[in-house]
Amino acid sequence: MSTARYAVFGHPISHSLSPRIHSAFAHQLGIALEYTAIDAAPVDFATALERFAGEGGRGANVTLPLKEAAFALCARTSDRARRAGAVNTLTRNDGQWHGDNTDGAGLVRDLTSRQGLDLRARRALLLGAGGAARGVAPALLDAGIAELVIVNRSPERADALADALGEPERAHSRYWQDMRDLGDFELIVNATSAGRGDGNGFSAPLSLVNSRTLAVDVNYGEAAIDFLAWARAAGCHDVVDGLGMLVEQAAEAFEHWHGVRPQTDAVYAALRERDPVLVTAD
């Protein structure tokens, strides 16, 4: 019997920890699989995905900047993928791709189970409106936050995400330049590349922070350094990067493909211990 083939698609993708994570899960559970990283620019993604399917690919994870493109290529999508308008987990069924989005579930599980944080009734600010933000926004609402304010440098993207969530009483879009007037938040989630690698760091008004603020970056490692540094300097009560989210969303995908959920704590601890500063986010 041939080994089952899985992959993660992104651009760039050489940094990805997903092959290491899924290999660890498979070893833990005695499942034979091949999991590789495939670099595909947006213009080449559909062709690369079909080639992978033709070579026996059974499932794939999708990272930046392909999550919304993956959604468009699916014959069927889960409810949470449709709410997000983005897909990060693909499964090959009957010659078609079926799409899911495990990002939000991964984030909430990390924050509530691993970090022991309560998200209920928090006023939340979501920075960004791309594939990563779309993946986590519905799950934050489902976790019981009181309000979600979405801010993006391209305001029409923030408007579109707020409209797609379908909860006008709780989810709103605002302008990036108006953040000083938004008040303070108990949860700030960074799902942007703001400040990353431009030498200017991350900057936002300190008035966004109160004594209870939880600051979360969906990125991890070097990609999260600037935002996390700002959050600590601003006096946020809790500061969390996206490594735990990455491991938990991978576990969701693994369970979807193989019918059994792996244990995540040991894999998370090994990644954190081996690479105190990791490369970037999936």
Looking at 67, 80, 92, 174, which residue is catalytic? Answer: 67
**79 has binding-site annotation:** yes
Please give the C-alpha separations between residue 61 and each of 13, 237, 252, 254, 282, in angstroms, as whole numbers: 11, 33, 11, 10, 9
**135 has binding-site annotation:** no
Please give the C-alpha separations between residue 158 and each of 21, 70, 251, in angstroms, as whole numbers: 32, 20, 29
**265 has binding-site annotation:** no
The pLDDT of residue 194 is: 59
Residue written as token pair 């409209």: 163
The pLDDT of residue 281 is: 41
Cα–Cα distance between 211 and 204 in angstroms, integer? 17
Yes or no: say if 88 and 63 are a contact pair by the CB < 8 Å rule.
yes
**17 has binding-site annotation:** yes
Residue from 207, 198, 146, 216 nearest 179 by CA: 207
The pLDDT of residue 271 is: 95
Residue ranges of the domains in the chain? Answer: 4-101+246-274, 104-241
**63 has binding-site annotation:** yes
The pLDDT of residue 277 is: 47
**213 has binding-site annotation:** no
Q: In CATH, what number does 104-241 get? A: 3.40.50.720
CB atoms within 10 A of CB 87: 33
The pLDDT of residue 279 is: 38
The pLDDT of residue 266 is: 96
Q: What is the mean pLDDT of each run of 10 residues along the chain (282 residues)?
A: 88 93 97 97 98 97 95 97 95 97 98 97 97 96 98 95 94 95 98 64 95 96 93 98 97 97 97 63 44
The pLDDT of residue 63 is: 93
**88 has binding-site annotation:** yes
Q: What predicted TM-score, i.e. pTM, was given to this entire model? A: 0.93
Q: In CATH, what number does 4-101+246-274 get? A: 3.40.50.10860
The pLDDT of residue 282 is: 46
Yes or no: say if 88 and 101 are a contact pair by the CB < 8 Å rule.
yes
Cα–Cα distance between 67 and 118 in angstroms, integer? 28
CATH topology identical between 4-101+246-274 and 104-241: yes
Q: Which residues contact 114 (CB under 8 A, 6 or more apart)?
A: 244, 248, 264, 265, 268
Please report which residue ranges of the chain form alpha helices under DSSP H.
18-29, 45-54, 67-72, 79-84, 103-109, 131-142, 155-165, 225-233, 243-258, 265-274
The pLDDT of residue 274 is: 74
**Catalytic residue status for 145:** no
